[in-house]
Structure formats: structure tokens, C-alpha cells
């Protein structure tokens, strides 16, 4: 999925695992499709490519939890070294903060749809500051989106780091393989067993690093006997290490999609094939437009003056879409068939926590995903306040002059109780699963601050599962930073 916009029109289900969560009692027993990449590069090869570092305060908070080496001063230079930022079209990057020679190209969206510019003007009219680089000195505010792309084409972690390294004689990439379990002898991990074309193999290594993500990394640990001892024994798995923190602390940004119908054209798919052909031509000629991305602006907003930092994150999507409980194919979204836009909104620092458990001892079986997405009522309260904030933005010129009607939640949904019910019925996923092998200094943390699995030798984890707390915004950039940090550590 190099041009991301195609995912709104074509079925790319063969590139992901097709996981569905258990019914969530916090959201009217809703189930969700948990999109996870089944392709080289993992979920970063199928995501929306929104490039967000997170704030300095996010990483200082990690360090304050006892995770030495994870402060903003420690990790921001890693981000800078990763990046190769294009000269800004709207404003030049501050190269004392941003990188210009790293392996990962970062571009700012250009040639935006008029709705995007109207949104930015309306937000400022509503009192929200304009930020020229939410990965720079100031995250708070609204600004143009940034993406890990080159001429509108995806540049994933596999593109930026793995593919150039494939020339090395000491690197072998094995695809179409499923790891069954870790090989552990006397508390030391010596390799893995994996299946390929129906044949079992063993791979031995002096150092083993897991990068399966917040769903598959804890699943593999539990299949290997590392997890809650009672639960593993109940499944008939020999306990290698009693570590009840494995699979706990599942974090996800709860997301809603307030949407509006507009009077003029948007990027929504319609029967106007001439316009669709124009989208294709724009992409081929400039690498811009809806085939590159339909989310052209981003915001980090405070839902009330009492908040000391932005507590919600939003994307301005120039093609309207709503979550649909009745859809059971690879993406549970219904794209609105008329000109529209959505403000894709999530809570930056959710308090709710879920769990990953084993469904069976079969490595091919999907794990049990128990989201508990709105288990803490304060997460619901934040999203309700955010809806009111978005409505205030839409009421401002010039955006209000372009709007025909509110599609969701709908003009009749105004009371506190009605908005709470809307959030519980429609809240879904930002695809930012994390935290299930939490990093920390306490005994329940799965990995230590050097990302080494506590209680085992020769095993490290470098993916979103180690995050002790969520950052503000999309997490793919932070995942790449985590990998870069461990790579440097093990080289030294």
C-alpha cells in the first residue's frame, strides 16, 4: 500500500492478520477489527503514515517513572538522526530540532483541498493556535500534516532501514514464516522455532529481539511459557517464567469520527469519474492529493482551559467516513458516498487499560483481545468535551459556510447523556495498540529500561508493547525511535 489513499477504495486484507477483539462491555458489546500488518515492515507498512514524534513531556514522563535513558533529551536526538525533512512548503523546518540527512524522508502536505485551509482558518477563529511544526518547538495547535513519504509514496521502516541492509552478508530475511515459540534453556533464550511451507525450522542467535508489536509479542511470549503462571498452566503450557505483566496494560487511543456533509466537492468517492481521474493525475504529477493522503491537517487541542496540555489529537480528513458496526470485512468503516469530511479525534492520554490473552496453544490462532476501551469514565468525558470543541470550530467562518449538515453525531445529539451514548456506541480504534510488555523498574514490568526482558537472558523487545504510557498522537515514529535506540545500545 504505497499510495495510502487506495486503501479507501480497494481491499488490502491480505496484508493484515484480520484480528477481531472480544465484545467490549464498555461500548455496548462492540467488537473491533484490530488491523495488524502481515507484511515486511509490520503495521508501519499499512498505516496512515502520519509522522508524530510526541512531546518532550511524554518522554520526560517515561523517565520520571524510573526509565533512565528515555527523557526528551535522550530520545529527541534519535528522532533528528532518523529524519530527512523536506524543506517546508508552508514554513521551513527548524533544523536545530528536525533532521535533514537521516534515512527516513518526511514531507509536509502540499496543494491542500480548500476544505483543509478552511478548517485551519476556522480553528484559529475559534481560538486555537496555529502551529507550523507539531514535531518542533510547539505541538499544541492546528497545522498541516507530516508523513513518512517520498513523492506521496510510503517509506516504511522496512524501506528506510531493512532494504538497504539486505546487501549485508550477515543478514538473512525469511518471509512467509510463522514463529511458534522461543527456544529457552536454563533461563537463556537461544533462538526460535518457526514454520515455513508446512515445515518446522529452528533459528539460533546470540541475541534475540522481538518486534511483533503489542498483540503478537505478548502472544509469542505466552506461547513460550512466559506470562501469568496460572493462566499458562490452565492452557497446558509449561511455565518458563512467571511474569503476570505479559499481555496486561493494553493501551489504545479511543477514537471517534464526527462527520459533516459539505456543499462543494471533497475527496469522498462519488460517481464523478472525471474527478477521480484527476486525483490520479495529481498523484502521478506531484505526489500529492487524496491518493497520497486524505488527512491533510492535524490538531493537538485542549478541551477546556483547565487542561494544562493538549488532551485530544485530531486529523482532518477530506473524505468523510463513519465507524459501522454492521461491517465485518477487513475495515469496519463506511465511506460516505457524498461530499463530506471527518474530524478523526482521539484522547491523547487514555486511562482505560485492556488485556491480551491466549485463545489456545495453536500459534496460528488469533489471541484474545480484550480492549476495555472506555473502562474509565474520564475517557468518555474527554471525548464528549472534544465533540463540543469540534462543533465550535465548524461554526466558524469560512468552514461553516461550506457545511451543509452534521452527519455524526447529528444535530439532534446535544445533551450530555446523548453525547455519552454516542461515544459509547461509536468509539473505535486509532490503531495505536501499545503497552502489553511494559517497560519499568518495578517487578511487574516486563522489560527493564534497557529493553531486556526481566528474568531471561539474551532477550530484548523493541516495539510498541514496551511503552509504559501512551504518547500524544500516532505512535509509528516512536516505534522506529525505540528500534533505533536499542540498535545503538546493542552495537555499543
Please give the positions annotated as active site: 432
| Residue 406 Cα distances to 44, 182, 201, 259, 264, angstroms | 32, 52, 56, 6, 15
Give CA–CA dist 264/247, Å, rounded.
47
Give CA–CA dist 215/222, Å, rounded.
11
Backbone angle region of 339, left / alpha / beta, with phi > 0 → left and psi within -120 to 50 → alpha? beta
Give the torsion sign (CA, 230, 235, 236, 238): negative
Give CA–CA dist 254/380, Å, rounded.
9
Instruction: Write out the chain in H/E/C secondary structure.
Output: CCCHHHHHCCCCHHHECCEECCCEHHHCCECCEECCECCCCHHHHCCCCECCCCCHHHHHHHHHCCCCCCCHHHHHHHHHHHEEECCCCCCCCCCCCCCECCCEEEEECCCCCHHHHHHHHHHHHCCCCECCCCCCCCCCEEEECEECEECCEECCHHHHHHHHHCCCCCCCCCCCEEEEEEEEECCEEEEEEEEECCEEEEEECCCEEECCHHHHHHHHHHHCCEECHHHHHHCCCCCCEECCCCCCCEECCEEECCEEEECCCCCCCCCCHHHHHHHHHHHHHHCCCCCCCCEEEEEEECCCCCCCCCCEEEEEECCCEEECCCCCCCCCEEECCCCEEEEEEEECCCCCCEEEECCCCCCCCCCEEECCCCCCHHHHHHHHHHHHHHHHHHCCCCCHHHEEEEEECCCCCCCHHHHHHHHHHHCEECCCCECCCCECCCCCCCECCCCEECCCECEEECCHHHCCCCCCCCCHHHHHHHHHHHHHHHHC
Burial of 273 (0-12, 13-18, 19+ CB in 10 A): exposed
261: nearest Cα among 187, 322, 176, 351? 322
Amino acid at each position: 500500500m504505497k499510495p495510502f489513499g487506495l486503501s479507501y477504495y480497494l481491499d488490502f486484507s491480505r496484508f493484515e492478520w484480520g484480528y477481531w477483539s472480544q465484545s467490549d462491555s464498555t461500548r455496548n458489546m462492540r467488537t473491533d477489527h484490530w488491523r495488524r500488518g502481515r507484511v515486511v515492515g509490520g503495521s508501519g507498512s499499512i498505516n496512515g503514515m502520519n509522522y508524530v514524534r510526541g512531546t518532550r513531556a511524554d518522554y520526560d514522563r517515561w523517565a520520571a517513572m524510573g526509565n533512565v535513558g528515555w527523557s526528551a533529551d535522550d530520545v529527541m536526538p534519535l528522532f533528528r538522526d532518523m529524519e530527512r525533512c523536506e524543506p517546508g512548503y508552508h514554513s521551513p523546518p527548524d533544523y536545530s530540532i528536525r533532521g535533514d540527512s537521516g534515512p527516513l524522508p518526511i514531507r509536509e502536505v502540499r496543494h491542500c483541498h480548500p476544505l483543509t485551509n478552511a478548517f485551519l482558518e476556522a480553528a484559529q477563529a475559534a481560538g486555537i493556535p496555529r502551529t507550523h511544526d507539531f514535531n518542533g518547538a510547539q505541538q499544541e495547535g492546528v497545522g498541516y500534516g507530516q508523513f513518512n513519504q517520498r513523492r506521496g509514496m510510503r517509506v516504511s521502516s522496512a524501506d528506510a532501514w531493512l532494504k538497504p541492509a539486505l546487501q549485508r552478508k550477515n543478514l538473512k530475511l525469511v518471509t512467509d514464516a510463522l514463529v511458534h515459540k522461543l527456544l529457552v534453556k536454563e533461563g537463556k533464550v537461544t533462538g526460535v522455532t518457526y514454520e515455513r511451507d508446512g515445515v518446522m525450522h529452528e533459528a539460533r542467535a546470540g541475541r534475540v529481539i522481538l518486534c511483533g508489536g503489542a498483540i503478537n509479542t505478548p502472544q509469542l511470549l505466552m506461547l513460550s511459557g512466559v506470562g501469568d503462571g496460572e493462566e499458562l498452566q490452565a492452557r497446558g503450557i509449561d511455565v518458563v517464567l512467571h511474569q503476570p505483566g505479559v499481555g496486561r496494560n493494553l493501551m489504545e487511543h479511543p477514537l471517534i469520527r464526527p462527520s459533516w456533509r459539505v456543499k462543494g466537492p471533497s475527496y469522498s468517492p462519488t460517481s464523478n469519474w472525471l474527478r477521480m481521474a484527476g486525483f490520479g493525475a495529481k498523484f502521478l504529477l506531484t505526489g500529492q492529493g487524496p491518493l497520497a493522503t486524505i488527512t491533510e491537517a492535524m490538531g493537538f487541542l485542549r478541551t477546556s482551559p483547565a487542561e494544562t496540555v493538549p488532551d485530544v489529537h485530531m486529523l482532518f480528513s477530506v473524505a468523510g467516513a463513519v465507524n459501522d458496526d454492521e461491517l465485518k470485512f477487513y475495515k469496519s468503516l463506511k465511506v460516505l458516498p457524498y461530499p463530506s469530511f471527518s474530524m478523526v479525534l482521539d484522547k491523547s492520554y487514555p486511562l482505560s487499560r485492556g488485556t491480551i490473552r491466549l485463545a489456545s496453544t495453536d500459534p496460528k490462532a488469533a489471541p484474545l483481545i480484550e480492549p476495555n476501551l472506555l473502562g474509565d469514565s474520564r475517557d468518555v468525558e474527554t471525548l464528549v468535551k472534544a465533540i463540543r470543541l469540534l462543533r465550535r470550530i465548524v461554526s466558524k467562518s469560512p468552514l461553516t459556510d461550506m457545511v451543509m449538515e452534521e452527519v455524526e453525531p447529528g444535530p439532534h445529539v446535544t445533551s450530555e447523556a446523548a453525547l455519552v451514548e454516542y461515544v459509547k456506541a461509536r468509539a473505535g480504534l486509532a490503531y495505536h495498540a501499545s503497552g502489553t510488555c511494559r517497560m519499568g523498574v518495578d517487578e511487574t514490568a516486563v522489560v527493564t529500561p534497557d529493553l531486556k526482558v526481566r528474568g531471561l537472558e539474551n532477550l530484548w523487545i523493541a516495539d510498541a508493547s514496551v511503552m509504559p504510557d501512551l504518547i500524544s498522537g500516532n505512535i509509528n515514529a516512536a516505534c522506529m525511535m525505540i528500534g533505533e535506540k536499542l540498535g545503538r545500545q546493542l552495537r555499543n
